Amino acid sequence: MEPVAAPPEPASPPPPSTVRRNPPRRARPPPTPLASAKPKPSSRSSFLQDEAAAASIPAPPPSSQEERLKVFLRIRPVPDRDRCKAVARPMPGKDLRRKPKQAAGGDLCLVPTGPNSVALTVPQSKLVDPKRGRTEVFDGFSAVFSPDSTQLDIFVQVMNPLVDDFLGGKSGLLVAMGPTGSGKTHTIFGSPRNPGILPLALRQIFKAQDENKVASPPARSFSLSMFEILSEGKGERILDLLSDAAECVLQQSSIKGLQEVPLSNLADAESLASRGMLKRSTAATNANSNSSRSQCIITIHGVHKSSDADSEHLLSNAVLTIADLAGAERERKTGNQGSRLLESNFINNTSMVFGLCLRSLLEHQKNQKKPLEKHFKNSMLTRYLRDYLEGRKKMTLILNVKPANDDYLDTSFLLRQASPYMKIKYTSLDDSSDLISQKRSNASLICQENKKKRKVQKPEVLGVERKENIETDNIAKVSEDDAQYKFLNSELRRVSRSEAIMTNFARALWTVLKQYKHKLLESENAAESMKQLIRDQYIQIVELKKELEVLNSCCSCKHIPVIEDTSIDQDDSVSSGQAGQSLVSLSNKPNLGSYDASVDNFHLVAEEVLKELKSHGAENFSAPCSLNGESVSCDTSSISFIDEQEQSFRGLKAEKSCCADAFGPMSHTEEGNTKVELHAIHKKLDASECFTGQTSAHAGGVTPSSSHSDNQSNQSLTEHHMLPCLKTERVSLSPQFTSCSKKATIEQSEDEIEELSKIILEDIHHDVNIRVKHPDYLSSSQQVSSDTEDVGSSQSSLELPGMVASQKKLEELDLEPERCEPGVVNATVECAVGHSQAPEQMSDCEGRVPCLLKEITCPAKASKAPSKVSEAEEAADKKKEGFTSSPEDTKKTRRRLQPAAAMLLKEFPGADFDVDTRREERGKSSSSVAAGRSDALIRVLKARPVRRV
């Protein structure tokens, strides 16, 4: 096709040079005439031939195999008044005689350049850049109808193919598009003088039907329906134009309530169409005095009355649809206000949605990956025409445009919008699309019926007639709401499921945390209890360490008893306590494992003794003594008495150790007594196993003192028994014993211990007897002791065993050895005898030296003892003078000792008598009290069970 150029008019000036923004489009081949494309009944062909000949239009070109969307362009002729206006406005410098033509041609922005193309020229008034091209050619239309085209020309080329398809059983759609006042309604309906496409189609249909009647019985019938879709600002409505029913309901692609008027003849059909057109909503605007305010749709249903059921079925679904769309309006041009403006919005929106649907179809056909957008949902028109807009049915477009410059924008917009639609192809036309559409429509009807039951109705407000329309609108809304409701429901279920999962997870986690917390608390409690246990154990360990340190200190103290024990005059309690502790420590030495038991038993004994002592008053126990940590009362008066005696002896014989020698046997005797008493105590304690062995060992320690050495016996006694008072007295009187006692052995058998104990007791009894029989025993003893004064105190002490032998000799010779403490021995024995107790029970007299000293202070025996001693001494001296032929030194000794012994004997009773009478009373009371305490102690020892470790 050649480029479109300005109409060659020699008289007119050359057209302005235009720059073509778009390349020239090749015109499509001329359309195949409808008659040649599809063989139709002869009646139809004759009708077209007649009409074509009458209209002098060429026959439509045959359709190609690749069918495309047909787009026709009809250019409306410029109205005469506009032409007059153009003539009335003379252009400066222009020839007025040419003005009409020039005005007509110059005021036109759109001119056909060919059968299928048009040239759109930008008006001078709207040209921004004069240098740029202002003419735009649109090619590819199915046909371009010039303003001079008639209605028949339009029908032949546009509508006749659709009618042929319809009569052949295929549905078709013709849509007239264009701005307001472009001649759409004129093209569709026409006028009585100049009928449009619809009347011509009816004529064609009825003409064919008439021809069929002649040839054969009528095999098909037709029905006509008309409705409009309009909007009054509250939504779209469907109005049936062929009946009095106000509104219809759009159900998918079908309209419920739409009356289909059967077409019996052409006259009735044309009359019906005319009435329907008259009922269409129209209004006057500045652009069109009779402007359509709604989308008008005319449907012609053809029913094939054939005996063949299949054929009837197919024909029954063939629909020929003609849509007269309301033209797009510009507010500035139409000047619409109020309801008109709302109608304009509705019209423009519907036109836009329609165009979007076709655009989407085109894009989808260009690129299958792009989804076919469902813009059809946005308006009733597009919903109704869904099958056409999705390419399943054939559709034809006829664009009505106004060529005037004032309509340039509307024309330009329409051409730019609709020209691409020519590329839409119909490659997959489905003949069964009607069946599918029908099924979908039926399903939709059922669905809508169900939804109606749930819809809220307002019969009080709305009338019965309007209620159905409202329900129809609500059905569409409900369907959309249902989809949204389903989506929200699914989302809600998903969220609820997620929430339930998270809740369960949180609960499980919480439970686990609680369990861990509980375990942690238990662990903390266990750790705390373990700490407490460790703390207690640590305390016990510390206590044990302290006791061990005490024991160690006591063990170390036993080697220095001289220093400590000599302090008896200063602090008797300390020395006694230390001695007691030493006793405990030494008693535990052989077997440290039995330490606790022995200590406990000893403590028990000490406690009982303490109680007994306290219960009998403290007057006799003025000085407290410490015994293994326990305070025990000791008769310090007796100790002080001994001290006084010792001092008096030392004062009289300070230069000699006779005092020590004299007191050594005395202390030995006292220790012997004490041993007996302690032995009795330990026998009482023998109830305890652990203490028995030790006690026996202690007793064993005494035995060698008699059998081997007095020093050893003293050491054994003092170190193993460690009776405080006895020890202190031994130390104070003869400290040499301690130095010699280190060599003593402590391991003795029990048998030996018993034997030695018996020997000791026999010695005591024997001494007593000798004492009674030989009053001069003391002097002889002093003499024996004085024989060894030169050797030293230690040697004199070592000679003590010899004293026993000398005593025995004296017994054989009916003589008594000299003893320093006849009164003590005598008193002690008498104390034991006086109480009618065994020697073991003599310990009941406190078993301590004070007790012995108390016995010494016994007035009756004390007064008797000195006289007996002096007499025995004198008798012994006499016998010795006459009997012994001892050397001179012996005499010297005797001479030296005799005054001392005499003085001692003199001093002893004197001292004894000098003692305050209270001491005598104390001695009596203490002996009686001691007897009582002894009984109590025995009872306690018997009653109390022995604790074992």
Ligand X SMILES: Nc1ncnc2c1ncn2[C@@H]1O[C@H](COP(=O)(O)OP(=O)(O)OP(=O)(O)O)[C@@H](O)[C@H]1O
Interface positions with ligand X (CB under 6 A)? 76-77, 178, 180-186, 288, 290-292, 326-327, 400
- 299 annotated to bind ligand: no
Nearest distance from residue 332's CB to ligand X, in Å? 16
Amino acid of residue 187? T
Tokens matching residue 521: 């608390």
267 DSSP β-pair partners: none
Min dist CB 187 to ligand X, Å, is 7
Side-chain-facing half-sphere of 310: CA atoms under 13 Å: 2
Distance CA 644, CA 624 (A): 20
Is 181 assigned to a binding site?
yes
Q: Output the six-digit token pair for 814.
A: 């009916």
Kindly give, in sequence order, each residue whose CB lies less than 8 Å from that of residue 55, ignoring residues fewer than 6 positions away. 150, 152, 153, 156
Q: How far is the CB of 45 from ligand X (least distance, A)?
A: 27
Give whichever of 24 and 77 is closer to ligand X, judged by the CB atom.
77
Work out how close the CB of 195 gets to ligand X at its nearest, in angstroms, rounded to a whole number: 13
Cβ–Cβ under 8 Å, residues 865 and 827? yes
Q: Is 335 labelled as part of a ligand binding site?
A: no
| Residues 69, 396: Cα–Cα separation, whole Å | 6
State the amino acid at position 263 in one-letter form. L
Q: Which two tokens stand for residue 703?
A: 């035995």
172-177 vs 394-401, strand pairing mode:
parallel
With tokens 């039907």, the residue in question is 209
Check whether 184 is labelled as a binding-site residue.
yes
Residue labelled with tokens 């879709």: 229
Q: Are 297 and 227 in contact (CB under 8 A)?
A: yes
Question: For residues 288 and 732, which CB has a smaller minimum distance to ligand X in the complex?
Answer: 288
- CA–CA separation, 427 and 390 (whole Å): 12
Range list of β-strands (E), 36-179: 70-75, 110-112, 117-121, 135-139, 143-145, 172-177
- Tally: H helices and E strands in the chain: 35, 18
The nearer residue to ligand X, 288 or 667, going by C-beta atoms, is 288
In this structure, what are the phi and psi dihedrals at residue 234, rounded to the nearest 5 degrees?
Answer: -115, 5
Q: Which is nearer to ligand X, 183 or 823 (CB)?
A: 183
- Give the C-alpha separation, 675 to 840, whole Å: 9
Smaller CB separation from ligand X, 252 or 400: 400
| CB of residue 460 to ligand X, shortest distance in Å | 38
Q: Do residues 303 and 315 lie in contact, with contact meaning Cβ atoms separated by under 8 Å?
A: yes
Please state the closest distance from residue 472 (CB atom) to ligand X, in A. 26
Task: Please identify, using beta-carbon distances, which residue of 25 and 184 lies nearer to ligand X.
Answer: 184
Interatomic CA distance for residues 184 and 553, integer angstroms: 135
> Residue 555 CA to chain centroid, in angstroms?
65
d(CA 746, CA 699): 9
CB of 191 to ligand X, least distance (A): 7
The distance of closest approach from Cβ of residue 424 to ligand X in the complex, given in angstroms and rounded to an integer, is 23
Counting Cβ atoms within 10 Å, is residue 24 exposed (0-12), middle (13-18) or buried (19+)? Answer: middle
Report in angstroms how near the CB of residue 491 gets to ligand X at its nearest.
Answer: 45
Q: Least Å distance between CB 148 and ligand X? A: 9
- Complex with ligand X: residue 290 or 484, whichever CB lies closer: 290
Nearest residue relative to ligand X (C-beta): 183
Question: 184 or 720, CB closer to ligand X?
Answer: 184
What's the rounded Cα separation, in Å, for the pair 905 and 525? Answer: 78
With residue 626 as reference, give the H or E element that holds it: strand 623-627
Query: Residue 292 or residue 780: which is nearer to ligand X going by CB?
Result: 292
Per DSSP (E only), the strands in 187-278 are 220-231, 236-240, 247-251, 254-256, 261-263
List, in order, residues 6 or more apart from 248 with CB less than 8 Å away: 227, 238, 239, 240, 255, 256, 257, 258, 469, 472
Is 178 annotated among the ligand-binding residues? yes
Least distance to ligand X, CB of residue 8, Å: 25
DSSP lists the bridge partners of residue 72 as 143, 398
* Whether the Cβ atoms of residue 29 and residue 157 lie closer than 8 Å to each other: no
- Taking the least distance from each CB to ligand X, the nearer of 76 and 721 is 76
What is the nearest approach in angstroms of ligand X to the Cβ of residue 86? 17
DSSP bridge pairs for 228: 239, 296
Q: What is the DSSP string of 48-72?
A: HHHHHHHHT-PPPPPPPSS-B-EEE
Shortest Cβ 20–ligand X spacing (Å): 28
Distance CA 784, CA 140 (A): 171
402 a known binding residue? no
CA distance 947 to 817: 47
Residue 122's nearest CA partner among 412, 551, 545, 478 is 412
In whole angstroms, the minimum distance from the beta carbon of 190 to ligand X comes to: 9
Q: How far is the CB of 224 from ligand X (least distance, A)?
A: 20
187 assigned to a ligand binding site: no
Element containing residue 292 per DSSP (H, E): strand 291-292
Strands 247-251 and 236-240: antiparallel
**Integer CA distances (angstroms), 144 to 69, 106, 397, 574, 628, in order:** 15, 20, 12, 147, 141
Distance of CA 839 to the CA centre of its chain: 84
Query: Measured from the CB atom, is 147 or 168 closer to ligand X?
Result: 147
- How many CB atoms within 10 Å of residue 692? 18
Whose Cβ is closer to ligand X: residue 76's or residue 558's? 76
The answer to whether 657 is annotated as binding is: no
CA atoms within a 13 Å half-sphere pointing along the CA-CB vector of 681: 25
**CB of 98 or CB of 333, closer to ligand X:** 333
Minimum CB distance to ligand X smaller for 184 or for 933: 184
Q: Toward ligand X, which CB reaches closer, 191 or 749?
A: 191
Identity at 608, one-letter amino acid code: E
Binding-site residues sit at 178-185
Binding-site residues for ATP sit at 178-185
